Structure 1
Amino acid sequence: MSDALIRFEGIGKTFGRVRALADIDFTFMRGECVGIAGHNGAGKSTLMAILAGVYAPTQGRIEVDGQAAPHYDANAARDKGVRCVFQELSLCANLTVAENMCIVHPQLRGRGWRRRATALMREKLEEIFPGNGLKGNELVSDLTLTQQQMVEIARGFTVTDAPVRLVILDEPTSSLDAHTAEQLLAFVRTAAQNGITCLLITHMLGEIERVADRVMVMRDGSIVSVLPREASSRASIIQAMGQHLEAEKTSGAPRVTADRGNERHFRWNVGARKNTAIDASRGEIVGFAGLAGQGQTEALLSIYEAATRRGAGRAKVAFVAGDRGRDGVFPVWSIAENLDLRWLLGGAKARRGLVDFAAARAVVQAWRARIGIRGASMNAGILSLSGGNQQKVLFARALASDADLILMDDPTRGVDVGTKRDIYRLVHDEAAKGRTFIWYTTENEELSHCDRTYVFRSAAVTRVLQADECTEEALLAASFEEHAA
């Protein structure tokens, strides 16, 4: 235990009558990478908030460097070298990248502080994400979600006055493409070898399998298993989570398609010069792929604008936002109000111009059960849910609508493996009923669910891959092509 950094003994946490954590015993060792897995609402983020000093435990004992720490708070955690990158990004949108550095590194002050902050950020960004292209003077609001996540990660690993000893990474790759995620994972392994303890909370179980020295599996606020590296396969993690391993891909299996008797065909022109045609038919699942920030989200927004424009061919459209904090949830509204938003705005469940609240409640309860939204009651605030459960609400909102075209901007970001399987099944079931899906994802595995995939590079489509052509190699090659095929 001489290498023990922080030790939890009997840690518990309650919020009112809700028990979030119970009897957590775990020791975080120096220079190891710990993977943390569990379904949405299992208590992972709450446990990390206690480790970061954001929450005080309701019960239990914390030791740091072998000494009791009875007054362990955010300042104490920072003094001990604990840094955190939470799933919901904490950057100030109205400040530059360098100015955001100073928020968590107040030592950057005095003459020349901006130059020092910019240099530190650029150095760390280049170390973690080589070739990222950021200069440090950009306004955060002008950055893509992927770039913001890169900045947040680099800021957490930056050293100023005190050494970094432990870094919490909560869903750090949820907005990164496969190439950028691999850069981060390689850096995490290097950081652990250099003595920094890295905690990786993710639903990307393959990432845990590749980099973790130990895997903590949580369920219902407790640690149910701690797996050593040699036993931490994807199958063993899922088994410990209490879920069954099922085939997630549909490649090679026939998919039920919509009755095309009254087929409706969509076509939109997207891209920087509106010269890229996107085609979709009734009941199709169309994928968008490529490196993050190459115009996929902008193409979805362009399609939404065109599809809802007044005139012939206007479609009923629902949009699942990728940046739920900025574009998805209404933070002051309840879970139920966020889910049944379309009814509140006068959708199909309105009677004589008034909201049918009984019908709205029925929709909310049906979709809560159908998609497994865990946590507080549906009348509680949306922010009382974990990030993954908030994402479920946005997905349920879209499918509960009467839209015949569903646009999805990385909809499974931060969602656990069991719910992902349910979402895949729902998408296929709804497509079989005639709904059309356009699905941007940063997880290449998910493209196996698509009939056809458009690969983007520099706001243009470089290649269109049919389902049987959509291999990892083909996606990677098309992602780096400069000109549209």
Structure 2
Amino acid sequence: MGATSSQEDSRALIRFEGIGKTFGRVRALTDIDFAFLPGECVGIAGHNGAGKSTLMSVLAGVYAPTQGRIEVDGHDAPHYDANAARNAGVRCVFQELSLCANLTVAENMTVVHPHLHGRGWRRKATALMREKLDEIFPDHGLKGGELVSDLTLTQQQMVEIARAFTVTDTPVRLVILDEPTSSLDAHTAEQLLAFVRRAAAERGITCLLITHMLGEIERVADRVMVMRDGGIVGVLPRAQSSRASIIQAMGQHLEADKSPAAARARNARSDQAHFRWNVGVKKHTVIEASRGEIVGFAGLAGQGQTEALLSIYDAATRHGAARTKVAFVAGDRGRDGVFPVWSIAQNLDLRWLLGGAKRKRGLVDFAAARELVEAWRAKIGIRGASMNAGILSLSGGNQQKVLFARALACDAELILMDDPTRGVDVGTKRDIYQLVHEEAAKGRTFIWYTTENEELSHCDRTYVFRSAAVTRVLHADECTEEALLAASFEDQAA
């Protein structure tokens, strides 16, 4: 599906015809027909593993198609590779960021802009980066000389996006944005979406937005490409691209999100044991959580939420009478979550490494380990690969599901979650929310930092952070978008 009209074909920047891609016996793409038109914003939706990132890798010239043909500006491009894509004006912001952590922001500019060389290149690179950051993310706070490894994940995402839109030699004509807001808070994400609309409308740049945040697609997309099982199952015009219609095209159905009302009633018992920690750098803040409670962390990204989670983890695992069994779901899976050379099964069940695995005659009971892995594979819905395959064979969203399953498969009584649904599709998110509620009902405590304000409706209480301190504590019935924004921008309160 997805064939375009002859009028669209004639003015297409890049056109795919019958594109397919296989990896061994795995068919990742099947018969893709689509014309990418100048100056439009295309939303791309689909569940994890639907083929979205593979399709974008073909468009970026990273993967050569196994079948089909590609046209650029109406001319056949039989040898379409990364160099040809760059000459066509294609730029990429992939879901897994490509910045070199050991280089500065300015030095990272030269990785994708080789014309930045010679005398004064550093000054020019810094000026170009700051100019683009100012345009997309006003008040970003970056100078250009920072080491990337010292930046927060949000700041790295901002740098990667700004680098893609920066022009040095070849004009930017098409930008692929793969989950660009996954590490951004609501305010910064809105800045990016507004810029995307301007870039398309005023400069004729084609913007491809791959995201599981269907509300973002509703707001900015001129057309929506819906993918399932490696193919295009629908192309929706702007007038028909509601969240409900996109989900329906994906082959999923809407269900009411599970309300935290039951959890609130459950946690109303005052005799339950409490967790209590002091966190914060500039100002100590007390964080409290009851057993079986779901506590949210919110606020603009980079305001100390992750540091607070790490502080709680450190306090919970410190030797002493108050030591707590705790699991941590990392937000930056590439850096802090997955073991890239290990299999899916090994990444899911780490108890054998940590000494907590079930043992038989003093040895790890691998039969029991396999049983646990298969049980969680079915429960969390990890599909499309053998559990003995490498973890990197999975899509980013499925890798995140493995990390989530790892945390829940252990016997931790406290689960710390650092924006755990980054890059996860709407159906999987619903399953994760249900699991969180089910595990909370069994007495497990969750502390959940999220950049998606909608997810805070699942929390019993939410601590809003600003400048590494809590500005407000909102109970479930107070946690509105307006209250969150007000607390996110106000100075430190009590």
- The TM-score range, normalised by the shorter chain, is over 0.9
Deviation at 1:356, TM superposition (A): 1.2
Cα distance in 2, alignment partners of residues 348 and 52 from structure 1: 43
Deviation at 1:250, TM superposition (A): 1.5
Gaps of 5+ in 1: none
2:462 corresponds in structure 1 to 453
Deviation at 1:349, TM superposition (A): 2.1
Cα distance in 2, alignment partners of residues 409 and 232 from structure 1: 31
Deviations 1:90-117 (A, max 9, x none): 0000000000000000000000000000
Deviations 1:407-432 (A, max 9, x none): 00000000000000000000000000
1:236 corresponds in structure 2 to 245
2:132 corresponds in structure 1 to 124
Cα distance in 2, alignment partners of residues 429 and 172 from structure 1: 31
1:223 corresponds in structure 2 to 232
SS in 2 for 1:4: coil
Residue 72 of structure 1 pairs with residue 80 of structure 2 = yes
Alignment of 1:147-158 (within 5 A): 147-158=155-166
Residue 433 of structure 1 pairs with residue 442 of structure 2 = yes
Cα distance in 2, alignment partners of residues 253 and 243 from structure 1: 26
Cα distance in 2, alignment partners of residues 406 and 484 from structure 1: 28
Q: Which moved more, 1:267-276 or 1:430-439?
A: 267-276
Are the aligned partners of 1:258 and 1:433 in contact in 2 as well (CA < 8 Å)?
Answer: no
Deviation at 1:375, TM superposition (A): 2.4
1:25 corresponds in structure 2 to 33
SS in 1 for 2:48: coil
Cα distance in 1, alignment partners of residues 437 and 299 from structure 2: 23
Deviation at 1:251, TM superposition (A): 5.8
Residue 472 of structure 1 pairs with residue 481 of structure 2 = yes
Are the aligned partners of 2:263 and 2:441 in contact in 1 as well (CA < 8 Å)?
Answer: no
2:182 corresponds in structure 1 to 174
Cα distance in 1, alignment partners of residues 265 and 285 from structure 2: 29
Gaps of 5+ in 2: 1-7
1:111 corresponds in structure 2 to 119
Deviation at 1:374, TM superposition (A): 2.2
Residue 367 of structure 1 pairs with residue 376 of structure 2 = yes
SS in 2 for 1:101: helix
Which residue identity does 1:45 align to in structure 2?
S
RMSD, aligned CA: 1.4
Are the aligned partners of 1:251 and 1:468 in contact in 2 as well (CA < 8 Å)?
Answer: no
| Distance change (3 Å), C-alpha of 1:359 and 1:254 | closer
SS in 2 for 1:22: strand
2:20 corresponds in structure 1 to 12
Alignment of 1:276-287 (within 5 A): 276-287=285-296
2:63 corresponds in structure 1 to 55
Deviation at 1:343, TM superposition (A): 3.2
Residue 44 of structure 1 pairs with residue 17 of structure 2 = no
Q: Which moved more, 1:370-379 or 1:26-35?
A: 370-379
Residue 199 of structure 1 pairs with residue 212 of structure 2 = no
Cα distance in 2, alignment partners of residues 227 and 56 from structure 1: 27
Which residue identity does 2:126 align to in structure 1?
T
Which of 66, 76, 91 pairs up with 2:99?
91
Length-normalised TM-score, structure 2: 0.96
Residue 334 of structure 1 pairs with residue 334 of structure 2 = no
| Distance change (3 Å), C-alpha of 1:294 and 1:261 | closer
Which residue identity does 2:438 align to in structure 1?
D
Cα distance in 2, alignment partners of residues 335 and 251 from structure 1: 32
Deviation at 1:355, TM superposition (A): 1.5
Cα distance in 2, alignment partners of residues 179 and 261 from structure 1: 36
Residue 313 of structure 1 pairs with residue 322 of structure 2 = yes
| Distance change (3 Å), C-alpha of 1:334 and 1:35 | same
Deviations 1:371-392 (A, max 9, x none): 1112221111111111100000
Are the aligned partners of 2:129 and 2:163 in contact in 1 as well (CA < 8 Å)?
Answer: yes
SS in 2 for 1:438: strand
Cα distance in 1, alignment partners of residues 118 and 142 from structure 2: 24
Deviation at 1:261, TM superposition (A): 9.2
2:416 corresponds in structure 1 to 407
Cα distance in 1, alignment partners of residues 71 and 158 from structure 2: 31
Which of 321, 328, 334 pairs up with 1:325?
334
Length-normalised TM-score, structure 1: 0.98
Are the aligned partners of 1:258 and 1:432 in contact in 2 as well (CA < 8 Å)?
Answer: no
Deviations 1:293-338 (A, max 9, x none): 0000000000000000000111100000000000000000001000
Which residue identity does 2:273 align to in structure 1?
R
Cα distance in 1, alignment partners of residues 278 and 485 from structure 2: 24
Cα distance in 2, alignment partners of residues 263 and 255 from structure 1: 13
Are the aligned partners of 1:259 and 1:434 in contact in 2 as well (CA < 8 Å)?
Answer: no
Q: Which moved more, 1:355-364 or 1:149-158?
A: 355-364
Which residue identity does 1:344 align to in structure 2?
L
Deviations 1:3-39 (A, max 9, x none): 2111101100000001101011111000000000000
Which of 383, 396, 399 pairs up with 1:387?
396
Paired residues, number? 485
Which of 193, 196, 204 pairs up with 1:185?
193
Cα distance in 1, alignment partners of residues 267 and 421 from structure 2: 24
Deviation at 1:255, TM superposition (A): 5.8
SS in 2 for 1:89: coil
2:3 corresponds in structure 1 to none
Cα distance in 1, alignment partners of residues 262 and 197 from structure 2: 37
Deviations 1:455-474 (A, max 9, x none): 00000000000111000000
Cα distance in 1, alignment partners of residues 265 and 69 from structure 2: 55
Q: Which moved more, 1:317-326 or 1:266-275?
A: 266-275
Cα distance in 1, alignment partners of residues 193 and 260 from structure 2: 28
Which of 213, 231, 254 pairs up with 1:245?
254
Which residue identity does 2:287 align to in structure 1?
I
Cα distance in 2, alignment partners of residues 208 and 102 from structure 1: 31
Are the aligned partners of 1:283 and 1:435 in contact in 2 as well (CA < 8 Å)?
Answer: yes
Deviation at 1:348, TM superposition (A): 4.4
Deviation at 1:249, TM superposition (A): 5.2
Alignment of 1:259-270 (within 5 A): 263-270=272-279
Are the aligned partners of 2:263 and 2:293 in contact in 1 as well (CA < 8 Å)?
Answer: no
Are the aligned partners of 1:43 and 1:221 in contact in 2 as well (CA < 8 Å)?
Answer: yes
